[in-house]
């Protein structure tokens, strides 16, 4: 949830021309991570939970790529802080997937 908030704050500074482009895509990717974790947890089976954790991980990797792109395009000076959160979440997701799979 903290990552989602950070992404909303970061993208609020993007050019208006990116409102329906990278801004929207980054926000969707960020929101997808906790949403898929919650949905998977609510499914009741370990197999479903793992599948949704994998989807959350894929969305997280999408977001990581988008952070690099935003930096390369000059929309943000550094993606280091947000990317460090991505790495922590990735490790947590990988641990959960391994423990359930």
Instruction: Render pLDDT for 37-75 as a digit per residue (tens, 0 to 9).
Output: 999 999 989 999 999 999 999 999 999 999 999 999 999
Length in residues, the chain: 101
Instruction: Note the pLDDT of residue 100.
Output: 87
Three-state secondary-structure class, residue 75 = coil
List of residues 6+ apart from 55 with CB closer than 8 A: 32, 36, 40
Q: Where are the domains of the chain?
A: 2-100
Do the beta carbons of residue 31 and residue 4 sit within 8 Å? yes
May I ask the CATH class of domain 2-100? Answer: mainly alpha
| pTM (2 d.p.) | 0.93
**Once rounded to an integer, what is the mean pLDDT over residues 11-36?**
96
Report the greatest alpha carbon distance in the chain.
43
Q: How far apart are CA 25 and CA 3, in angstroms?
A: 15
Q: How far apart are CA 33 and CA 78, in angstroms?
A: 22
């Amino acid at each position: 949830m903290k990552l989602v908030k950070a992404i909303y704050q970061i993208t609020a500074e993007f050019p208006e021309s990116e409102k329906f482009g990278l801004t929207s895509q980054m926000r969707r990717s960020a929101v997808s991570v906790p949403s898929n974790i919650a949905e998977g947890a609510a499914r009741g089976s370990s197999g479903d939970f793992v599948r949704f954790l994998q989807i959350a991980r894929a969305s997280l990797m999408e977001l990581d790529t988008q952070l690099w792109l935003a930096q390369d395009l000059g929309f943000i000076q550094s993606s280091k802080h947000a990317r460090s959160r991505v790495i922590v979440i990735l490790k947590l997701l990988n641990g959960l997937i391994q423990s359930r799979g």
